[in-house]
């Protein structure tokens, strides 16, 4: 681990390729091709992915459908909302228990799926 070898243990390596935009938007998610939706809060998003807070922990590697709930526009500035996806498919990259919440909640990181054409 390079950070430990060089003595920079306090430095957090951020591997994100896209700028994150903080938000607090109501969303629902479900596993792809299923119809049981779960309520969540979208904490931030970028061009490449999203971070959610959910009371249910989706499996890392799973494909999920994320859908924005309304009304939500008042909680997001117009310049930030321009890049926000109202409905999207994403792959769950990580999921961990949220320590600073009341009850059992999870922080979920997911990257947007892209469609490739031959």
Decide if 60 contacts 108 (C-beta within 8 A): no
Residue 102 is assigned to a structural domain of this protein: yes
> Which pLDDT belongs to residue 14?
54
- Spell out the per-residue pLDDT of the chain, length 118, in tens: 333 333 433 434 456 567 888 888 899 999 999 999 999 999 998 888 999 999 999 999 999 999 998 765 555 554 555 556 889 999 999 999 987 766 778 999 999 998 766 5
Give DSSP secondary structure letters for the chain: -HHHHTT-TTPPP---SS--EEEEEEEEEEETT----EEEEEEEE-SSEEEEEESS-PPTT-EEEEEE-SS-GGGS-HHHHTT--SEEEEEEEEEEE-TTSSSS-EEEEEEE------
Give me the CATH number covering residue 50: 2.40.10.220
Total domains in the fold of the chain: 1
Residue 60 is assigned to a structural domain of this protein: yes
Residue 108 is assigned to a structural domain of this protein: yes
> Which pLDDT belongs to residue 12?
41
Q: Which residues span the domain enclosing 46?
A: 17-112
pTM of the model: 0.75
Residue 80 is assigned to a structural domain of this protein: yes
């Amino acid at each position: 681990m390079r950070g430990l070898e060089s003595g920079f243990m306090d430095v957090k390596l951020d591997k994100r390729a896209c700028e994150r935009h903080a938000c607090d938007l109501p969303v629902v998610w479900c596993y792809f091709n299923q119809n049981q939706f779960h309520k969540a809060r979208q904490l931030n998003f970028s061009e490449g992915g999203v971070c959610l807070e959910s009371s249910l922990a989706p499996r890392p590697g799973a494909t999920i459908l994320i859908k924005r709930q309304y009304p939500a526009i008042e909680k997001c500035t117009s310049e930030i909302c321009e890049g926000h996806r109202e409905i999207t498919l994403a792959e769950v990259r990580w999921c961990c228990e949220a320590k600073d919440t009341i009850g059992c909640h999870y922080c979920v990181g997911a990257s947007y799926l892209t469609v490739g054409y031959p």
